[in-house]
Structure 1
Amino acid sequence: MNRYSLAAIWAAISTILDQGTKLLILEKFPMWSSKTIIPGFFNLVHVHNKGTAWGVLDRDDISWQVPMFIAITLIALGFIIYMLKKTDERDKWMVTGLGLIGGGAIGNLIDRIRLGEVVDFLDFYIGTYHWPAFNVADSALTIGAGAILISMYLNRDNATPAA
């Protein structure tokens, strides 16, 4: 399978899983609701975020964050395509990582275009400390970044020094 097909498959899987789970949350969970799944560790919640990771810029008093994040996402998707063109066909870790990051970016982009904010619903916590709620797209972005780090580690001896 060529790198474009592999990346597209990972992007499609992550986007479909992300949007499917968000649709379920939107249909089944009232806003701000919470359901304990694993007591003391994991809840399903329904929150929205106009900002970026961990709620940065999640404010109602600024109107430019949604257009800015849409523009940044489109630029990032262009960069992902560029990186995919430059990636060796055999580097499955890099290709998978780029596909997952692309899929995660597309999943959150769909929310921003459709809703003006991102739906988050995964709430992990220990005691009273809650990690900020996130979604499948955020997970795909994180796993994709991890795959790219693995690729960089595995290919560290093949790197060309900067001029």
Structure 2
Amino acid sequence: MTRFKQLTVAFLAGLCVLATDQVVKLVVVEFVMQPPREIPVLPFLNLILAFNRGVSFGMFADQLADIPGILGGVKILIVLGLLIWAFLSKTAAEAVSLGLIAGGAAGNIVDRLRDGAVTDFIDMYAGSWHWPAFNFADVAIFCGAVLLVLSTRSSKTATPSR
């Protein structure tokens, strides 16, 4: 696959994630969570409405509350770096995985720049222990990271053809 095709694949994967993330968040915020409440879905899953003003898992929320643009700017640089990496990647799977990560990051960037916080709505738990709330963009980032590890690992273990 040519580098241009790889970048196109990564960009399209990221664009699909970004669009889906923003539509799902709009539906959740404007329709599902009116009024905001906890909606049980499965014995280990609720829908809730949360706004993360920090970084992963809400860390540093107090320190970053007044400067959401700086965190957004850093993440924009990271997304650009991921797209450059996708351009240089050796396989389509690696390019797609980087696109998923970039698209998820972009979805959270849009939230942060628009609202000053990332909109989260998925609450997974076991008993009284709750994982920090997350969203579709976070799921795409996680899936992209897993695919990246698997694609990198499989490309290193593959035997070259002769």
TM-score (norm 2): 0.87
Q: Identify the residue that residue 14 of structure 2 maps to in structure 1.
A: 11
Q: How many residue pairs were aligned?
A: 154
Give the equivalent residue in structure 1 for 2:138.
138
Q: CA RMSD in A?
A: 1.9
Deviates more, 1:116-125 or 1:23-32: 23-32
Aligned partner of 2:41 in structure 1 is 37
CA distance in 2, matches of 1:58, 1:31: 25
SS where residue 33 of structure 1 aligns?
A: coil
- Written as runs of structure 1 = structure 2, the 5 A alignment for 1:46-57 is 46-57=49-60
Structure 1: 5+ residue stretches without partners: 159-163
Asked if the contact 1:123/1:132 (under 8 Å) is kept, the reply is: yes
Aligned partner of 1:97: which letter?
S
Partner SS, residue 46 of structure 2: strand
Following superposition, the deviation at residue 104 of structure 1 comes to 0.4
> Which amino acid in the other structure matches residue 8 of structure 2?
S
% same residue? 29
C-alpha contact 1:31 1:47 (8 A) present in aligned 2: no
Greater fraction helix: 2
Measure, in 2, the Cα distance between the counterparts of 1:118 and 1:125.
Answer: 20
- Cα displacement (A) at 1:85: 2.1
Alpha-carbon contact 2:48-2:121 (below 8 Å) kept: yes
Gaps of 5+ in 2: none
- The question of whether the paired residues in 1 share the 8 Å contact of 2:53 and 2:64 is answered with no
CA contact (8 A) 2:54 2:65 kept: no
